[in-house]
Structure 1
Amino acid sequence: MDSSDFLGAKYLYRFRGNKTYFIDELRNAALYFPSKSQLNDPFDCYTKILRFDNSSEIIRKKAFAEIRKRMPNQTRQQIRSILRDMSSNELIQTVKDRFETLMQNSGIGSFSITPANLMLWSHYANWHQCVCLGFNIENDEDFFNQREVVRYVDEISQFDYSGSSRDFVRVATTKSNMWRDEREVRILKPKYGSHSFKKKALIRVIFGLKCEDSTIRECMKICKNEYDDLKLYVCEPSENEFGIDLYSL
């Protein structure tokens, strides 16, 4: 079966490269969403694309909110007094630190719109030895609620900090153009860690070219016992191109 049959706006794919982890994910119907520091690209979620204007009223408002959070017993007047004693750089650093904490605590799930990219299989499925999980996002809108298409850029271009949630989204979904072939969509969660999905959302498990028979058998057993309408596929090399075709088990 040609892999183009698996494409469409309602489908997303997650490549998994650690057998122990993806077996647990299958059993528990939960995916792990890493934090910023756990991502493989050091320029991922790169907060330096944000520009903080030291004369911005937004900075003062966000700094006020952050200090009030840190010092809940202080009155508004006391917090304003603290702000008056802070330099512009200190105000900016307060807001930057808060934003960085937000980025570090959030969960960032990387998906692709295609299950047939050889680079993805090599990089994220342990050199074709593991699996790709295929989801129908319409079967679990809550889990896939905050999904954002990654924006690929040739160079770093700063944008002004606005204090809105879109700052977080833009930082979390801007990557170097060298990654564009991944065709990535990100699912963003407020906290990193495992997040449960509805079992009906997982509709395909695709085994890599080098996936061991024992791994396939173990997955088949779990899928048979835990999932109702899950389809299993194996990859085979395409005959006339450097690519893969998918065949139903």
Structure 2
Amino acid sequence: MMIPKKLYKYRKFDVVALRMITYHGLYYADPRRFNDPLDCELSIQPDISPRKLSDLLKSLLGPEREADWRHEIASARYYASEEGDIKLAGAARDYLRRILADRIGTEIRKDFDQRGILSLSATWRSVLKWSHYADEHRGICLEFDTTELPHDRLAPVRYDGVRSVMASDIYAWKLGGDEAAGSRAFETHFYSKAPDWSYEQEWRDIGDKPGECGDYRITGVYFGFRCDHAVQVAIVKMLGLDSNVDLYDVHLNPYSFELSRAEIDAGEIDALGMREPREIETARLISEFYDVDAVSNDTPELA
């Protein structure tokens, strides 16, 4: 799928948002802190034989941990026997495969859990995302350009309900050197979410570890329809009038449930600047009025 030229990040207006604007400060987040407990929660589907699963586990643990893998495999076989947890011979094989798959998952997590994820959206007009991630429409949405640098790991999230990584893919990847199988395992784990999340139209970039990501340039700022005018003033002042960042007011469409946008004149907002306190401003205007009146009364008439 072709990468969109623009992707979006919804934020409440806070220090993190200011850092995003000032330093193009996007971050690869730790997936273990995501609000969806099923997101990037590794699940291994044991679709190969116990023998292959045993060989895979031995390979992942390595020869230096021979005592460990011998113990793991012996324990799995014991609990899948009549002397262990399983009393029905027909269920022992499936139980053994599940135990081995879980142990393999523990090893694969050591690599996968080190990664970081940058989450963006393909749209700025999601009513739900404005509500959930942008302080109930009081925040902002940042527009980022994707065309300046290559983004090899930037891809859309799938919402097809498949989240289990096939043990056969991990076996082919780790023991057979099949990079395509490794890519399938990687993509299933990092780019799959439940169908309930499809409204997000999410795209993800995967980093080697959580932390800063400076590969995207901000090209637009969208202000929610409940966003305070002071937020607009602060961002315009921070960007300056020479900025190439486009600014938009987001408002409700009067005839549908969709959102619309209107471009903002940054110069007009910048000209307003900081306002005087209301009473002081009123007193100043009154003072200027009386000064003008006094000058006009004292001016002699011309002959």
The DSSP-based 3-state class of the residue aligned with 1:168 is: helix
Distance 1:98 1:79, change over 3 A: closer
Residues 59-98 of structure 1: pairs in structure 2 closer than 5 A: 60-61=55-56, 63-65=58-60, 67-68=61-62, 76=63, 78-80=64-66, 82-87=68-73, 89=76, 92-98=101-107
Which of the two has greater strand per residue? 1
Quote how far apart the aligned CAs of 1:105 are: 2.4
- Residue 41 of structure 1 is matched in structure 2 by 36
Q: Which has the higher contact order (CA 8 A, sep 6+)?
A: 1
- Structure 2: tracts of 5 or more residues without a match: 77-98, 171-181, 265-303
The DSSP-based 3-state class of the residue aligned with 1:166 is: helix
Number of aligned positions between the proteins: 226
Task: After superposing the two structures, state which structure 1 stretch, 229-238 or 90-99, moved more.
Answer: 90-99
- Residue 232 of structure 1 is matched in structure 2 by 247
Which of the two has greater helix per residue? 2
Would the aligned equivalents of 2:154 and 2:203 in 1 still touch at CA under 8 Å? Answer: yes
Deviation track 1:29-62 (CA, whole Å, cap 9, x = no partner) reads 12122211221212212322x3144636476356
Q: State the structure with more CA Rg.
A: 2
- Residue 73 of structure 1 is matched in structure 2 by none
- Residue 3 of structure 1 is matched in structure 2 by none
Distance across 2 between alignment mates of 1:240 and 1:147: 36
- Residue 154 of structure 2 is matched in structure 1 by 147
Distance across 2 between alignment mates of 1:107 and 1:222: 29
- Residue 22 of structure 2 is matched in structure 1 by 27
- Residue 160 of structure 1 is matched in structure 2 by 166
Quote how far apart the aligned CAs of 1:22 are: 0.7
- Residue 202 of structure 1 is matched in structure 2 by 218
RMSD over aligned Cα atoms: 2.6
Distance across 1 between alignment mates of 2:72 and 2:225: 59
- Residue 183 of structure 1 is matched in structure 2 by 201
Query: Normalised by the size of structure 1, how large is the TM-score?
Result: 0.79
Distance across 2 between alignment mates of 1:121 and 1:56: 50
Letter in structure 1 aligned against 2:42: T
The DSSP-based 3-state class of the residue aligned with 2:225 is: coil
- Structure 1: tracts of 5 or more residues without a match: 1-7, 69-75
Deviation track 1:1-52 (CA, whole Å, cap 9, x = no partner) reads xxxxxxx82221111125221101111212122211221212212322x314
Query: Normalised by the size of structure 2, how large is the TM-score?
Result: 0.66
Would the aligned equivalents of 2:29 and 2:117 in 1 still touch at CA under 8 Å? Answer: yes
Partner residue of 1:138 out of 139, 147, 152: 147
User: Kindly, what percent of the aligned residue pairs are identical?
Assistant: 21
Letter in structure 1 aligned against 2:106: D
Partner residue of 2:8 out of 9, 13, 28: 13
- Residue 71 of structure 1 is matched in structure 2 by none
- Residue 217 of structure 1 is matched in structure 2 by 233
